[in-house]
Chain A
Amino acid sequence: IIGGNIAPENTIPWQVLVSVNGGRGGGMVIADRWIMTAAHVVVQEGNSASNDTIRIYMGLTDVRTLTMSPVYAASVHIHPEYNNPRFIEYNNDIALIRLHDPITFRASVMPICLPAQDTYVTGMMGVVSGFGITEIDKRRILTNKLKYVHLPVVDQETCSKSVDLYKQGRSNVPNLTNNMFCAGVPEGGKDSCQGDSGSPYALSDNGQFRAAGIVSWGVDCGKQGTYGVYTKVANYVDWIEKTMQEN
């Protein structure tokens, strides 16, 4: 998280750390047996990571204590239309992890609500959190503390233009689709970053937080004129419920 703050305990209780073969990603609790994350966090070389390589940590805000109590995946459910062999196709970047044992919720572990349809309004402030890269004294470092930053939803057209601008100067810039939305500030300095993938972008609805987005991709982190791109969870509510029911 670039430009944010360290999250006090119990403020983002749905945040989980997903560790896959040493790689760090994020996720969020959505039910007592289910974790939602980005597909690219649990896909390795085009295939779902094996269950025993996926470790999930929850309930604390410090990675050093979090790692003492992993829970394991019983099964991983990648969205069937996710296909990202060259790491430039992040459409449908969503996955569900089913846990072996149900979680008992408490102050430090609580599910985040799923969103209602079409709740994205440009300018709405959401909270993105994660254990990913942060910036201290203009140096990027990987933090062990859970951080968060408030970011507004960016108009889809503005974001699209930003992406297109970068495509002119770079190759292999992913496409922005309607299953994605952007969040960030045009002046930069606040953003999610590597290691935050899969983490929640939460919008508050009368004091109740809903999982509006999943940290997916972006061009650079916190740079002026760039925005973070998030999987639009509202488009997948049916798939999520179906997958949970069938499993």
Chain B
Amino acid sequence: CWTLPDSGPLMHGEVQSPGYPQPYPPNLQEQWDLSVPEGYRIRLTFTHMDIEASAGCVYDSLTVLNNGKVLGKFCGSDNSADGHHPGNHPILSSGNRLTLIFQTDNNNPERHQNVGFSAHYQAIDIDECSAPEDASGPLCTQICLNTLGSYICSCRHGYELRSDQRSCVLSCGGGIFDEPEGFLFSPGYPNAPPYAVSCQYFISVEPGFTVSLNFSDNFHIESVDTQQGPSCLHHWLQVSIPDRDHIKLCGAKSPGLLVTNSNTVKLEYYTDDQGLSNGWSLDYTTQRMQCPFPGNVAKGRVTPMLTEYFYRDYIHVRCAQGYKLMMDGQELESFSTMCQSNGQWHLRLPECHIIDCGEPEPLLNGGVTFLSGFQNQYRSVIQYHCNEPFYSLLGGMNVSSTCESDRKWRSNHGDVVSPTCLPVCGRPTQHLSAYQR
């Protein structure tokens, strides 16, 4: 259905002689040009006619013309013996236009006053599909569907309508294939197409996925034997993968599985109008892009440890106890990286560096001795001492502490060591001697 324009030809209407139902005046020359929308014809039906009857309608008449061709010249009435009356038969136009011309002479019979005519017209759909073929052949080469006011052409399965909207060509079944898997085949496969084909197929899936083509065993594209061997000279299937040379396929042996490592592939199938190729079919599947093995981190652990890593896989790196994550001189609290759509990790792996506890807190009136380890690093052991005999450690014992994984110097009991040197009181280094008795 479609909406007819507001202004334009009507779908139906009435036409009456001047003054109807009163007698029409003499000396008339009145014309009506009826029209209905394109794709329709006009059906004219007289509801009443009373025009002065005469042989050949020479005095008064109503003439109906279709494209200048007289369809009828009418006069008289239902009961008159003379004249030419259309009766109850409607008049059909061949096109969407109809012209009515009403003519009267200069006198009218005195006994009877003729009132003229009244007619109704309406648009009648044209069945274009049943229209006779003209020189250019049938309206549609395959299937014609009549519609109100028009018609459309259609094609049988395996064919598609050409741009002329009239003729059909063999369908390539091509286009863009963006589903993660699918099935493609050449026109008419497994039979040879009736004439030359030039088809394109685009497989384009989400970045991060790669396409694999798995050709079926039934593969047949005509090849030509040349001195250099079989050549895809007249018929071929060309596979185009970005950043790679084109692959031209022909012959009778299926290429089998073709891994493209790309998320887009273009297939172009061409046959000329000679020779015979039964064609090909393939299933395509997609796989996630694979990233290189991330490697190992010294003094660290990569999780999860898999044999292969694919697009959207995450890995984490944790350092062994006493080590910290470092990248470009910066310490990281945590680290993870993702396999990207381009098959590369979005971050390279960090390193694990041994932690250090920093310089031990200086001890007032005492000092620190390194017992083992290197540069305050993890597991280094130090010992605090006081400047004896004038100071002694609170608690009276030497305090040794170890650089622990939380980067604090801790005693064997796990306490953060903050020793204090207490003054020794009342014990002079020299004593008052009193040997005399």
Contacts and interface: CB of A to CB of B under 8 A. Distances in A.
Given A31-B423, A104-B365, A105-B365, A12 B428 contact: yes
A8 B434 CA distance: 12
A110 B427 contact: yes
A32 interface: yes
Contacts of A106: 390
A68 to B, nearest CB: 22
A90 interface: no
A20 to B, nearest CB: 25
B426 interface: yes
A113 B430 CA distance: 17
Q: Per DSSP, are chain B's interface residues mostly helix, strand or loop, or mixed?
A: loop
A148 interface: yes
A9 B365 CA distance: 22
Most B C-beta atoms less than 10 A away, residue of A105, A106, A107: A105
Contacts of B434: 150
B428 A105 contact: no
Nearest to B431: A11
A60 B345 CA distance: 75
B177 interface: no
B428 A110 contact: yes
Contact of A105 (B423, B430, B431): B423
Contacts of B390: 105-107, 110
B429 interface: yes
Contacts of A113: 425-426
B432 interface: yes
B430 A208 contact: no
B365 A209 contact: no
B432 A112 contact: no
B429 A111 contact: no
Given A104-B365, A105-B390, A105-B391, A111 B428 contact: no
Contacts of A202: 426
Interface string A194-223: 000000001001011110000000000000
Contacts, number: 61
A6 to B, nearest CB: 11
Contact-residue bracket for chain A = 20 to 34
Interface of B: 365, 390-391, 423-432, 434
B425 A111 contact: yes
A150 B426 CA distance: 16
- Report the 8 A-B pairs with minimum CB-CB distance, sorted nearest first: A209-B426, A113-B425, A113-B426, A105-B390, A10-B430, A208-B426, A111-B425, A107-B429
A160 to B, nearest CB: 29
A127 interface: yes
Given A10-B428, A107-B390, A208-B426, 16 more contacts: A5-B432, A8-B432, A11-B431, A12-B428, A13-B428, A104-B365, A105-B365, A105-B390, A105-B391, A106-B390, A107-B429, A111-B426, A114-B425, A150-B434, A202-B426, A209-B427
Contacts of B391: 105
Contacts of A49: none
A105 B429 CA distance: 12
21 contacts: A8-B430, A8-B432, A10-B428, A11-B430, A11-B431, A14-B426, A32-B423, A104-B365, A105-B423, A105-B424, A107-B390, A110-B390, A113-B425, A127-B432, A150-B434, A202-B426, A205-B426, A208-B425, A208-B426, A209-B428, A210-B426
